[in-house]
Amino acid sequence: MEHQTQQEPASPEVRARIQASFERQGLMGHLGARIVHIAPGRVHIALPSRPEVTQQHGYFHAGATSAIADSAGGYAAFTLFPEDTSVLTVEYKINLLAPAAGEHIEAVGTVLKSGRTLTVCQLEVFGVQDDRRTLVATGQQTLIRVNTSER
């Protein structure tokens, strides 16, 4: 999967479906997050630094870090799902490795295994300052594919 996701872009239809769903997420809009990369099985979400997403020491808040990681993984999975489906997180675990600092943080969700019902993703979050990227969080996530025609 890794080789494929780095080489081929998502189709325009998939990119439009992902972006439209992302724009309906109130939390991502509230935080100021934006999708910066969409490929089959891989999505990157960036969150600019500003006081509203930091904690008392000036680092990005763990809640903001976790939220964009969760969404990046969910949308990575969603890139591989059929058109008449949606995605929901079943569970995820995040390990915070270092204080999240920089001009922005970037979450990368990568599909490890896509199944008919459950999909597992790797989550990574990087602090980005100029050209330097520092891994600040890593995790794993399980998602469920939901048939939207049955809802």
Q: What is the CATH number of the domain that holds 75?
A: 3.10.129.10
Q: What is the pLDDT of residues 94-137, one digit of tens each?
A: 999 999 999 999 999 999 999 999 999 999 999 999 999 999 99
Q: What is the pLDDT of residues 5-45, one digit of tens each?
A: 456 889 999 999 999 999 999 999 999 999 999 999 999 99
Q: What is the pLDDT of residues 53-70, one digit of tens each?
A: 999 999 999 999 999 999
Q: Residue 2 — pLDDT band, cuts 50, 70, 90?
A: very low
CA nearest neighbour of 121 among 91, 71, 77: 77
Q: Residue 149 — pLDDT band, cuts 50, 70, 90?
A: confident
118: CB partners within 8 A, 6+ apart: 90, 142, 143, 144, 145
How much is the pLDDT for 86? 94
How much is the pLDDT for 150? 58
Contact 120/142 with Cβ under 8 angstroms?
yes
Task: Say what the pTM is.
Answer: 0.93
Considering its fold, how many domains does the chain have in total? 1
How much is the pLDDT for 8? 82
Neighbours of 40 (CB within 10 A): 19
How much is the pLDDT for 30? 97
3 state SS of 109: strand
3 state SS of 41: coil
Neighbours of 108 (CB within 10 A): 24
d(CA 44, CA 127): 13
Instruction: Determine the structural domain holding residue 84 and report its residue range.
Output: 2-150
How much is the pLDDT for 148? 87
d(CA 60, CA 32): 13
